[in-house]
């Protein structure tokens, strides 16, 4: 068995990578909303914070009643309990990655978790 997994994401409204890559510590999805569209529901989480990376386009997020403008290059972290919903701009589609991880689960990172050699 390999110590890695690789897939290619070519399009579609939503691609979840959990099963496709055999993820064990995070859920990652690639999402696309056409101009004027929105996620059709407001949601929150019990344990997982979400980190969003805006890859292309523009839009907004409504988080606990506050509107946050989004554009390519933006990163956004949302606490589990926050109620959220995402929208593409009226004339521009938006494409983003969502990473879900259990809040407060990070014990080490980058150099602290690396083993050289």
Contact call for residues 99 and 45 (beta carbons, < 8 A): no
What pLDDT sits at residue 1? 59
Residues 6+ apart with CB under 8 A from 26: 99, 100, 101
Domain count, the chain: 1
Residues 34-65: pLDDT tens digits?
Answer: 999 999 999 999 999 999 999 999 999 999 99
Helical segments of 10-113, H only: 17-21, 110-113
Least confident of 5-14, 36-45, 70-79, 89-98: 5-14
- Rounded distance between C-alpha atoms, residue 113 and residue 111, angstroms: 5
Place of tokens 């004339």: 91
Question: Is 109 a residue whose pLDDT tops 90?
Answer: no
User: Is residue 88 in a domain?
Assistant: yes
Q: What is the CATH number of the domain that holds 79?
A: 2.60.120.10
Rg (CA), the chain: 16
User: Is residue 54 in a domain?
Assistant: yes
Q: Which domain holds residue 67?
A: 28-104
Could you tell me which residue, 10 or 110, shows the higher pLDDT?
10
Calculate ∠ Cα 96-20-42, nearest 5°: 40
Calculate ∠ Cα 103-2-112, nearest 5°: 40
Q: Which helix (H) or strand (E) holds 17?
A: helix 17-21
Question: Is 85 a residue whose pLDDT tops 90?
Answer: yes
């Amino acid at each position: 068995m390999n110590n890695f997994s690789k897939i290619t994401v070519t399009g579609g409204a939503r691609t979840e990578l959990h099963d496709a890559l055999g993820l064990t510590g995070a859920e990652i999805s690639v999402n696309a909303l056409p101009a004027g569209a929105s996620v059709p529901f407001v949601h929150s989480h019990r344990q997982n914070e979400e980190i969003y990376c805006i890859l292309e386009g523009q839009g907004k997020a409504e988080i606990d009643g506050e509107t946050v403008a989004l554009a390519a290059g933006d990163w956004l972290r949302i606490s589990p309990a926050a109620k959220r919903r995402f929208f593409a701009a009226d004339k521009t589609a938006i494409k983003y990655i969502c990473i879900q991880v259990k809040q407060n689960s990070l014990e080490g990172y980058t150099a602290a978790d690396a083993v050289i050699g």
